[in-house]
């Protein structure tokens, strides 16, 4: 194990001169874009709450657990062949890569088990792109824990607000866009640029450069490609900031101009909703570390099936299951016959059968050698998934009919992992240990958990990477 660096407290470098955010409602796209650039350049001098420490802990645990998957093996092989490096390797890996490739791999590892996080309003997975970019930069220069947490909050907030601007139901955007791919790079660029000390003009160049590589479609779901989308956004944002650092410029219209990203994605950008309370209210704090290693569209359904499972003697007692979910959930989760781990992560019929058969399995990541078990295979044809226009993504209704004809109903109005049911610190600590222990052992996992709970006092967050680096 590499020698660890000492963690003595060093004051966070926070901006002393903060341009005030507009107090009233913003009405123009240019006004909001200017306000977000100002926010990213000089964020308000406010204490960073423990929430960001917890989402960082959740992200690191997911990255450790996902690092040995075949999707990450393939991506590492490509980047290792392209260029090596002398930096600390990606989380959970031994290969030495260049920094931008390492950022991509770290975000991929944290996403691949579908256990990372979710911002229900925007369906973003906010922490991954931003945290990966921060740790990429931390491999080349000392970044205190306090500054890393401040950058994490800043980047996640920029990401969430740009996503709300473009992707809300009132924006006219196409439903096939993958918000993390579109907005994740903007958050990663903002966090990296702030850590590099950019002024307003250079910050705008960084965001414009990140906008030029925004990409991602929901059609990627069901394969490794779904997790490559946030990974690309992390790398794109990190590289955008490093390019701007070197004097590389972006055209002024790349982000908010008539032919720029924001207007191309959103015919009617949600300026007022995206700008509301900027600098005082942090929309990113509605992000939930996932309670289940599946697509967020399944969480309300899992909650219903968990409640129904004790009401029957076993899957053979179930004659029929009728489940209603949101229109988006039914569309994204409509694969009735998943053949891979990636397809199963969003197959509502399989997930319902699994939870009704073995409720504890709802919290265990699927294996790469996935196959549908005999109990689930027998139950799945008796499960019907229907779209209900009156249900939101965090809601579901399920009626289970037993062999004796009894009808048992369950309704979830607020899914675990939604803003009103965020997991607590103790649950996230237990999740981290469950994910990290099989990778680094119980002793190192416990030490890393202690480091993460005190990360705001650490002089250099790269000590976390030292701690978990393979011997």
pLDDT digits (tens, 9 = 90+) for 324-351: 999 999 999 999 999 999 999 999 999 9
Say if residue 287 is in the same domain as residue 310. Answer: no
Beta strands 396-402 and 407-412 are: antiparallel
Average pLDDT, the chain: 91
- pLDDT > 70 in the chain, percent: 93
Helix, strand, coil % (nearest 5) of the chain? 55, 5, 40
pLDDT at 419: 85
Say if residue 206 is in the same domain as residue 96. Answer: yes
Say if residue 386 is in the same domain as residue 268. Answer: no
Say if residue 409 is in the same domain as residue 429. Answer: no
Confidence of residue 72 (pLDDT cuts 50, 70, 90): confident
The CATH number covering residue 203 comes to 1.10.4100.10
Confidence of residue 460 (pLDDT cuts 50, 70, 90): very high
Say if residue 275 is in the same domain as residue 376. Answer: no
pLDDT at 353: 97
The pTM assigned to this predicted structure is 0.85
- pLDDT > 90 in the chain, percent: 81
Residue with tokens 């790469």: 368
Number of domains the chain is built from:
2
pLDDT at 279: 94
> pLDDT per residue over 160-203, tens digit each?
999 999 998 889 999 899 999 999 999 999 999 999 999 999 99
Residue-range definition of the domain harbouring residue 154: 29-291+421-468
Distance CA 418, CA 397 (A): 16
Say if residue 219 is in the same domain as residue 74. Answer: yes
Q: What is the DSSP letter of 312?
A: S
Residue 262: Cβ-neighbour burial (10 angstroms; 0-12, 13-18, 19+): buried
Say if residue 284 is in the same domain as residue 312. Answer: no
Answer whether 97's CB lies under 8 Å from 76's CB: yes
Say if residue 451 is in the same domain as residue 401. Answer: no
**Triad 454, 460, 466: Cα angle to 5°:** 90
Query: How large is the average pLDDT for residues 77-97?
Result: 78
Compute the CA torsion angle 213, 247, 234, 55 (nearest 10 deg): -140
Please indicate, yes or no, if residue 48 is contained in any of the structural domains: yes
Confidence of residue 1 (pLDDT cuts 50, 70, 90): very low
Residue 27 has pLDDT above 90, yes or no: no
Say if residue 199 is in the same domain as residue 322. Answer: no
Please indicate, yes or no, if residue 150 is contained in any of the structural domains: yes
Please indicate, yes or no, if residue 19 is contained in any of the structural domains: no
pLDDT at 78: 61
């Amino acid at each position: 194990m590499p020698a660890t660096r000492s963690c003595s407290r060093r004051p966070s470098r926070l901006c002393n001169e903060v341009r005030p955010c507009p107090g009233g409602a913003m009405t123009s796209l240019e006004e909001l874009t200017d306000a977000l650039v100002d926010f990213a350049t000089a964020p308000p001098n406010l204490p960073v709450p423990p929430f960001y420490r917890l989402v960082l802990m959740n992200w690191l645990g997911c990255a450790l657990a996902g690092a040995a998957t075949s999707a990450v093996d393939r991506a590492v092989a490509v980047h290792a062949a392209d260029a090596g490096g002398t930096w600390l390797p990606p989380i959970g890996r031994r290969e030495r890569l260049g920094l931008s490739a390492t950022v991509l791999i770290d975000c991929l590892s944290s996403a691949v088990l579908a256990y990372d996080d979710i911002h229900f309003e925007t369906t973003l997975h906010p922490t991954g792109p931003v945290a990966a970019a921060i740790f990429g930069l931390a491999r080349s220069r000392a970044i205190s824990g306090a500054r890393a947490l401040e950058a994490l909050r800043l980047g996640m907030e920029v990401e969430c607000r740009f996503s709300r601007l473009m992707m809300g139901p009132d924006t006219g955007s196409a439903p096939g866009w993958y918000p993390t791919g579109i907005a994740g790079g903007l958050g990663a660029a903002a966090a990296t640029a702030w850590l590099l000390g950019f002024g307003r003009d250079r910050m705008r160049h960084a965001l414009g450069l990140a906008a030029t590589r925004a990409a991602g479609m929901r059609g990627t779901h069901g394969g490794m490609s779904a997790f490559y989308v946030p990974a690309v956004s992390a790398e794109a944002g990190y590289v955008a900031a490093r390019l701007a650092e070197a004097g590389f410029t972006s055209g002024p219209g790349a982000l908010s101009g008539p032919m720029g990203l924001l207007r191309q994605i959103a015919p009617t950008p949600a300026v007022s909703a995206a700008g509301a309370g900027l600098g005082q209210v942090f929309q990113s704090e509605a992000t939930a570390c996932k309670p289940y290693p599946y697509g967020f569209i399944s969480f309300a359904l899992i909650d219903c099936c968990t409640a129904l499972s004790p009401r029957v003697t076993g899957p053979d007692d179930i004659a029929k299951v009728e489940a209603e979910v949101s229109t988006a959930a039914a569309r994204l989760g409509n694969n009735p016959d998943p053949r891979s781990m990636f397809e199963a992560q969003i197959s509502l019929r399989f997930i319902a059968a699994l939870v009704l058969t073995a409720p504890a399995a709802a919290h265990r990541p699927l294996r790469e050698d996935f196959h549908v078990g005999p109990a689930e295979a027998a139950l799945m044809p008796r499960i019907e998934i229907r779209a209900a226009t009156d249900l939101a993504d965090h809601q579901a209704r399920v009626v289970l009919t037993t062999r004796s004809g009894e009808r048992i109903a369950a309704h979830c109005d607020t899914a675990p992992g939604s803003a009103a049911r965020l997991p607590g610190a103790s649950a996230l600590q237990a999740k981290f240990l469950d994910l990290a222990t099989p990778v680094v052992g119980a002793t190192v996992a416990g030490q890393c958990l202690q480091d993460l709970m005190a990360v705001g006092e650490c002089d250099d967050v790269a000590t976390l990477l030292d701690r978990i680096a393979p011997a």
